[in-house]
């Protein structure tokens, strides 16, 4: 008889954001070793009733939990959504959990590990934490709270307790492992580094001249610098606007933003107010167009605000690598992003957070077609050999098979 593994996440199929996609794939990858039950947010659209049943595997059952669905880009409304979801999930766990069950809970939103830990203790179940963002550090880095704030102190104490009681702490990068080990020395033996992956079967290098998105926005003959993904509080899009302003007179270089998030409105207003004709902003495209999305450029920028090393690892990096695109990483040199770029020889790391330094790299890259092609080949090779689903999912399986026997 297979054991039960319960996955707790705000997002799951058919959500197409990174969390929803990654947790869906992890569930599919683990369905062969356990009966999977997923508890997630109920969608507020016309598909929610039809897709209560998960269509991919007999061993996966999805139950969608009611919560508020206010605008998540407004902090107060996002907090209300988190509270209602957390309460609903906790009540469901109290009726759902059985002694001996195992749980995987993701750290976004940050309340989920706490409610999972309490429910597991009451029901004598075991839980593993999948760390996508480290709290309270991400709140401090984004200046939501300051270092000595009471909320930060309380969150650190609570985080220490739930990490120490967990079965596994799964982190996405070496910088994250270092940060958690430094802050919580007693959890070192629980930490497992399991990175995210690139979707190498559906995202692959393509000739940019045949790219449908570049054709749509009439950028086929431009040198395109792309930013793709969440435009959130941890991402330094302000710096990229400065870069676009410095390059506004270069008709041959263009910036293409694709995504959504808390800073999207600011970005649109800044483009308009500064009359930046060299910037185009597009919303997210469906996942079935991701290969075109990641190929709609010559080079990609991943830009973080300062102090994010160890706090978050960008999942977009691996799909960019699958598309064979060089990366400019605006990030601390100790971050996983910086380490992968340097180890694989796939781009540039700029830790100065100065627009002038980024512009110098962009202008140099435009002149180095051969170097860009070499970096792209290295990126695709690394995605295939190190960062594909087939390489990563056995790490999850081995983790839960070995611990399940204990």
> How many other C-beta atoms lie within 10 A of the C-beta of residue 4?
17
Per-residue pLDDT, 47: 46
Per-residue pLDDT, 45: 58
Tokens of 209: 């001249």
pLDDT for 274-315, tens place per residue? 999 999 999 999 999 999 999 999 999 999 999 999 999 999
pLDDT for 87-128, tens place per residue? 999 999 999 999 999 999 999 999 999 999 999 999 999 999
Pair 284, 231: CB distance under 8 Å:
no
- The rounded mean pLDDT for the chain is 93
For 17, left (φ over 0), alpha (ψ -120 to 50), or beta?
beta
Average pLDDT estimate for 311-324: 98
Per-residue pLDDT, 50: 43
Average pLDDT estimate for 267-273: 97
| Position 173 pLDDT exceeds 90 | yes
| Position 58 pLDDT exceeds 80 | no
Ranges in the chain annotated CATH 3.40.50.2000: 3-197+389-404, 208-385
| Position 210 pLDDT exceeds 50 | yes
Residue 144 pLDDT level (bands cut at 50, 70, 90): very high
Per-residue pLDDT, 49: 45
* H-assigned helices in 97-227: 112-123, 137-141, 150-165, 174-183, 212-216
How far is the C-alpha of 67 from the C-alpha of 83, rounded, in Å?
9
| Position 352 pLDDT exceeds 50 | yes
pTM for the model stands at 0.94
| Position 377 pLDDT exceeds 80 | yes
Per-residue CA distances from 109 to 51, 130, 135 (Å): 23, 12, 10
Range 292-302 burial, b when 16+ CB lie within 10 A, else e: bbbbbbbbbbb
| Position 406 pLDDT exceeds 50 | no
* H-assigned helices in 67-166: 75-96, 112-123, 137-141, 150-165
pLDDT for 26-57, tens place per residue? 999 999 899 999 999 998 754 444 444 455 56
Pair 41, 65: CB distance under 8 Å:
yes
Per-residue pLDDT, 170: 98
How far is the C-alpha of 406 from the C-alpha of 401, rounded, in Å?
9
Edge-first strand listing for the sheet containing 347-349: 279-282, 253-260, 223-230, 299-303, 327-330, 347-349
Dihedrals phi, psi of 247, to nearest 5 degrees: -105, 15
Q: Which architecture characterizes domain 3-197+389-404 according to CATH?
A: 3-Layer(aba) Sandwich (3.40)
Looking at domain 208-385, which of 2.40.160.20, 3.40.50.12780, 3.30.70.360, 3.40.50.2000 is its CATH number?
3.40.50.2000
Q: Name residues whose C-beta falls within 8 Å of residue 156's C-beta, 6 or more positions apart in sequence.
A: 136, 183
């Amino acid at each position: 008889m297979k054991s039960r593994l319960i996955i707790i996440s705000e997002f799951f199929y058919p959500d197409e954001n990174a969390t929803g996609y990654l947790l869906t794939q992890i569930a599919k990858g683990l369905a062969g070793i356990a009966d999977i039950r997923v508890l997630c947010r109920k969608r507020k659209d016309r598909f929610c009733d039809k897709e209560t049943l998960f269509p991919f595997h007999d061993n996966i059952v999805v139950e969608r939990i009611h919560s508020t669905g206010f605008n998540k880009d407004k902090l107060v409304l996002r907090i209300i959504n988190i509270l209602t979801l957390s309460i609903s999930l906790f009540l469901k766990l109290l009726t759902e959990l059985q002694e001996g069950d195992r749980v995987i809970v993701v750290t976004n939103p940050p309340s989920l590990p706490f409610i999972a830990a309490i429910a597991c203790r009451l029901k004598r179940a075991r839980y593993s934490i999948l760390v996508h963002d480290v709290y309270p550090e991400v709140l401090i880095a984004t200046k939501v709270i300051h270092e000595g704030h009471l909320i930060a102190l309380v969150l650190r104490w609570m985080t220490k307790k739930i990490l120490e009681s967990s079965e596994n702490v799964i982190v996405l990068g070496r910088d994250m492992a270092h940060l958690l080990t430094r802050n919580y020395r007693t959890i070192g033996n629980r930490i497992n580094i399991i990175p995210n992956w690139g979707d190498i079967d559906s995202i692959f290098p393509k000739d940019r001249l045949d790219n449908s998105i570049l054709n749509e926005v009439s950028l086929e003959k431009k040198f395109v610098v792309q930013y793709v993904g969440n435009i959130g509080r941890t991402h330094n899009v302000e710096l990229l606007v400065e870069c676009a302003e410095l390059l506004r007179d270069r008709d041959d270089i263009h910036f293409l933003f694709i995504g959504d998030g808390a800073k999207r409105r600011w970005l649109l207003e800044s483009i308009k107010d500064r009359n930046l004709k060299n910037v185009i902003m597009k919303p997210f495209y469906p996942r079935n167009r991701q290969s075109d999305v990641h190929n709609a450029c010559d080079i990609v920028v991943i830009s973080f605000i300062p102090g994010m090393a160890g706090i978050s690892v960008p999942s977009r990096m691996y799909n960019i690598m699958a598309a064979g695109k060089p990366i400019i990483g605006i990030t601390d040199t100790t971050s996983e992003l910086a380490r992968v770029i340097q180890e694989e020889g796939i781009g540039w790391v700029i830790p100065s957070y100065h627009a002038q330094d980024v512009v110098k790299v962009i202008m140099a890259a435009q002149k180095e077609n051969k170097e860009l092609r070499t970096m792209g080949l290295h990126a695709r090779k690394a995605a295939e050999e190190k960062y594909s689903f087939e390489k990563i999912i056995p790490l999850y399986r081995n983790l839960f098979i070995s611990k399940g026997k204990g």
